[in-house]
Amino acid sequence: MSATLVVIGHGMVAHRLVEAVRSEDAGETWRIVVLGEEDRPAYDRVGLTSYVEDWDAGALELPGADYAGDPSVELRLGDPVVEIERETQRVRTASGYSVRYDAVVIATGSRPFVPPVPGKDLPGCFVYRTIADLDAIRAGVESAVRGKGRAAAAVVGGGLLGLEAAKALRDMGLSPHVVELAPWLMPVQVDEGGGGVLRGLVTSLGVTVHTATSTESIVRDRGRLRANLSNGTELDVDLVVFSAGIRPRDDLARNAGLAIAERGGILVDERCRTSDPAIYAVGECAAIEGTVYGLVVPGYSMAEVVATGLLGGEAGFPGADTSAKLKLLGVDVASFGDAHAVTEGALEVVVNDAVRGTYQKLVVSDDASVLLGGILVGDASEYTLLRSLVGKRLPAEPVALLAPEGSRGAGAGIDALPPEAQICSCNAVSKGALTEAITVHGCDSVSALKECTRAGSSCGSCVPMLGALLAASGVARSTALCEHFPQSRAELFEIVMATGITTFSALIAGYGKGTGCAVCKPAVASILATLGNEHVLGGERAGLQDTNDRFLANMQRNGTYSVVPRIPGGEITPDKLIVIGEVARDFRLYTKITGGQRIDLFGATVDQLPMIWKRLVEAGFESGHAYGKALRTVKSCVGSTWCRYGQQDSVGLAVELELRYRGLRSPHKLKSGVSGCARECAEARGKDFGIVATEQGWNLYVGGNGGAMPRHARLLVSDVDREWLIRIIDRFLMFYVRTADRLQRTAPWIEELEGGIDHLRAVVVDDSLGICAELEDAMARHVESYQDEWKGVLEDEDKLARFTSFVNAPETPDPTVSFRSEREQNVPVLLGVPSVGGR
């Protein structure tokens, strides 16, 4: 019979412990009971700030954290442990639940430190630690801004957590003040020079910084709060958020009589055992030989150590890698190794570039041969490489490692790292282990390396190094479009644009081989349509299309087609609604309102399509391109026109954008949405490009999608006006159309860009490649030359001739198509499919 392991707490470290035990134990050794205080499974607390982007708690959940289908793990949530009875070896929870244990792991984490400031408990004062804390802050923000202009907030603490809180508040539309007792921001991670650069970067982003001062008191003042600082400054704010550090949650251990470290934390040995051999402690509540580590990576190491011990092995805590790479308020900050040069005789090499807004420091041995640590502010692109070199001989002069790209000394790169260099600190994966996965186990992609070694599956900062390792090992992903074209889709796009080629036959004759296939023909047709914007059924282009594009409608499972007229922004007049109803009635079509705020008409045969289009076109409708790899819809809420929460005219903008980008042929379908406020009724942040209104203008998010692999869109620009917003969208869409692979949605396209969203922002916002004018011109040509594809068929007898069920008997209806009635509508009769509810 298996023994019982009780895990108290269900955060990231506790989940890693359960995973580690279960990966080696099929339930024969341990039955695991996990007791969580929060009412949700373990989630990514490191990425907590991203919760503000979409308020989707599910996006933070850790994979498998609910242990569904695992009979050896029992998870109880929302029921904190209140007592550990060591004599009877029982754990009791607040609800009265009791379980006997053979071993206990305490993983209660830490609590926010709130300085003893008078007024800290006033309404409007919050802490920043959990999803529930952010929900409370959000409610406080909504209450504060109701009926006012832009609200303000004070963040007590200018360390890592404080700046994360400031970002969250800024993303919620507040003007944050950061108050830090130390002379500079993030004093634990960076030195005075780095702190100075960081302050300048943070201030430029709209955050007011107060250093070398403390908060003496908080008082109510005319319906707001006033934070009185020790330097005499008075801050009139609407909220105060305490984010001044953490304290280990060791109360359970204290009450159970376990040994506590001198400065707090449950005292444990190198095997993470407490003074009771049946009880372990891991994570931020544990003090290994007196030291508490407030980072997740040391916590993961502790979890692995305990799991090994519970399964009969022996392992000791290997020491903590306190290196960290962060992006705070969009600013890169990283520190690693002996960042503050405490090693005797250590030398410092500093590059402080005020023009670029970067600060880089390397700490090296007294003979400048060994890297000891470093600090990076403003540009942390070399963090993974440099951190991996700590304790090793430098492959180049220190200053060469910090030189701008293009002037870096020889030998600085992935090849310079020895096999034992740790590439992924989160999961302790070395370069040697990754190389073995590539050369021995056949991993030929980043995703395969993640699955095989877990490298890159936590914080993701090492993912660029995984790609570099693949390239260094000779693994190169083919970019050929298909067997007929050795070029990628993006390369073919450039060829067509440069040569002016207008036909598939000319392109394959000059740059490919054979006659083409179902892969390259539609892809080239899309490129030709984008650059020439001619009718997709004109000339030889008709033969290049797949079934849907060939008939400008979506084929359904019974061989009929659906017709989707464009309804920009979901806005439609009563007269047009009547026309759709009459068409559906007269042709006996099944009707359904789609998730994109349109009306889908199902059941049309090929020969009926032109007759249906004629009725719709005469009423002012046009093709909604539901069949094409093109813009589908721009969904909208009612915005400021009707909604009392609306901040901008979301309907007007949605209509303008849908009409502007209609017919734009692209590598994959495109969806968009415009929400009139942060309540996000249009679900804009689940779209390829989504816009959310703010008091100051619009926020643009890109790279989202639903489907089998959902993605949340990421913020590209914020608080921009309508004109600038549309220019950036123009650039974004044309850059995507030019450079994405065939059938690649915007989300994976951005993920595969070297530099990701930051590179995209540099290209389409800052014009780093100098192509923005060209992208805007290309979009302008598309807008000016747009023609409705349905109307183009109706006006051309040759194109109309394609729309017959039987070429030799064009008047004969398709005898294979039949319908039955269900819920008062026609639905197809399908062989082998039983009728449900039909009559």
Provide the CB-side half-sphere exposure for 480 (13 A, CA): 10
The alpha-helical segments, DSSP class H, found in 188-295 are 192-203, 251-255
Task: Compute the distance between CA of residue 751 and CA of residue 753 in angstroms, rounded to an integer.
Answer: 6
Q: Is 637 annotated as a binding residue?
A: yes
Question: Can you point out the beta strands (E) in 42-135?
Answer: 73-76, 81-85, 90-93, 98-100, 103-106, 110-112, 125-127
Token digits of residue 768: 């780093």
CA angle 420, 425, 431 (to 5 degrees): 30
Q: Using an 8 Å Cβ cutoff, are 278 and 104 in contact?
A: yes
Token digits of residue 478: 């083919």
Question: Can you point out the beta strands (E) in 181-318?
Answer: 208-211, 215-221, 224-229, 234-237, 239-242, 246-248, 266-268, 279-281, 286-288, 291-292
> Closest by alpha carbon to 682, among 742, 637, 630, 640?
637
Q: Which amino acid is at 24?
A: E
Provide the CB-side half-sphere exposure for 59 (13 A, CA): 20
Q: Using an 8 Å Cβ cutoff, are 305 and 272 in contact?
A: yes
CA angle 553, 556, 560 (to 5 degrees): 75
- DSSP bridge pairs for 210: 179
Task: Compute the distance between CA of residue 522 and CA of residue 528 in angstroms, rounded to an integer.
Answer: 10
The label of the residue with tokens 């050794």 reads 29
Q: Is 443 annotated as a binding residue?
A: no
Residue 190 DSSP symbol: -
Task: Kindly report the backbone phi and psi dihedral angles of residue 360, in degrees, each rounded to the nearest multiple of 5, phi listed first.
Answer: -135, 130
Residue 409 DSSP symbol: P
DSSP string, 371-383: EEEEEEES--TTH
Token digits of residue 205: 């982003």
3-state secondary structure 562-573: EECECCHHHCCC
DSSP string, 606-645: GGGHHHHHHHHHHTT--B--TTSSBEEEEEE--HHHH-TT
Token digits of residue 460: 């993701």
Distances (CA, A) of 575 to 580, 582, 620, 623, 637: 9, 11, 10, 18, 21
To the nearest 10°, the Cα dihedral for 309, 310, 311, 313? 10
Provide the CB-side half-sphere exposure for 245 (13 A, CA): 13
Task: Compute the distance between CA of residue 749 and CA of residue 769 in angstroms, rounded to an integer.
Answer: 18
Distances (CA, A) of 646 to 548, 676, 777: 38, 5, 33
- What is the distance of C-alpha 190 from the center of its chain? 27
Q: Using an 8 Å Cβ cutoff, are 38 and 126 in contact?
A: no
Name the packing angle between helices 446-453 and 463-472 (round to 10°): 110
H/E stretch holding 772: helix 772-785
Task: Compute the distance between CA of residue 623 and CA of residue 792 in angstroms, rounded to an integer.
Answer: 10
Residue ranges of the binding site for [4Fe-4S] cluster: 637, 643, 677, 681
Residue ranges of the binding site: 637, 643, 677, 681
Residue ranges of the binding site for siroheme: 681
